[in-house]
Amino acid sequence: MSSTSQKHKDFVAEPMGEKKVTALAGIGDALGKRLEDKGFDKAYVVLGQFLVLKKDEELFRDWLKDTCSANSKQQGDCYGCLREWCDSFL
């Protein structure tokens, strides 16, 4: 597994609570803004989407791509971050 960033570690370390969507690994300002515009203004909303897609990597990646034009790395980061979070807390 590729090394994880600090953001990833921070996110996975604790329950996400009301963290903003930009707290997700791979989601920065631009992507975060796009997600917020679409209505995904909190990290848990994106988590919701991730769960609705049954934690399927491909689907989630596609969805991310469609929703905020994330590139492959960003998709992967976000997916990994959420998956790990789910493993720990769900």
Partner 1 sequence: MATAQLTDEELSSELKRLGFSPGPVTESTRPVYLKKLKKLRDEQQHRGSRPGKTRNSGAINNNSSGGGGNTAVAAAGSGAARPANNDVTYLSNTRGASGGRPVLNDKRVASGGGGAGGKFVLGFSSDESDAETPQRRRGGPGHGSGRDRGSSGYSQQLAPNRPTGTPATAQKNHGGVAHSNNSSPGVDGRRRTGSVGWGDRAIPGRSWVSQRTETGGRGYEEPGEEDDIEGEEGNDSRSLNGSRTSYLNTSKLAGDYSDSDEEDDEGLSALDRQRDRRLASRRSHPKAASPPHTNARGSESLQEKTRGAIRANEKPGASSLDMLGYRGEGGDEDGKPRGPGESALTGGLLNRSFPRRSIYVSLAGDQAGAPTKDGSPSTYSSKNYEDGNSSPGGGSRFSIGLRPRFSNYSTLSRTYRPVNSNHTLHGYGQDPNKHKHSVPEDELLQQFKRDGVSSSGGFSAHYLSMFLLTAACLFFLLLGFMYLRMRGAGATDADVVSKYNGQNQDFKDHIYTSLKWILSAGDDVGIRLLGEDPEEPVTEVGQVLRLESTHPKMSFLCRFRRAFFTVINRVLLIIAVIALVLGLIYYMKYRWRREEDQSRQMYDMVARIIDVLQSHNEACQDNKDLQPYLPIPHVRDSLVQPPDREKMKKVWDRAVKFLKANESRIREEPQLINGANFTVWRWLQPALGCDRLSQIPSKVWQGKAFPLDRRNSPPNSLTPCLKIRSMFDPVMEVGENWHLAIHEAILEKCNDNDGIVHIAVDKNSREGCVYVKCLSAEHSGKAFKALHGSWFDGKLVTVKYLRLDRYHQRFPQAEGCLVPLRPSGGPGSRCDTPHVLPSLLPIKAAEV
Enumerate binding residues for partner 1 (CB under 8 A): 7, 22, 26-31, 33, 37-39, 49, 51-54, 56-59, 62-63, 66-67, 74
Tell me the closest approach of the beta carbon of residue 15 to partner 1, in angstroms.
20
Q: Tell me the residue length of the chain.
A: 90
Q: Which is nearer to partner 1, 19 or 33 (CB)?
A: 33
Tell me the closest approach of the beta carbon of residue 21 to partner 1, in angstroms.
12
Task: Find all residues with CB under 8 Å of 81, minimum gap 6, and list them.
Answer: 4, 7, 8, 11, 12, 24, 25, 26
Give the span between the Cα atoms of 76 and 90, in whole angstroms: 20
Q: Which is nearer to partner 1, 31 or 82 (CB)?
A: 31
Tell me the closest approach of the beta carbon of residue 17 to partner 1, in angstroms.
14
Give the span between the Cα atoms of 51 and 29, in whole angstroms: 23
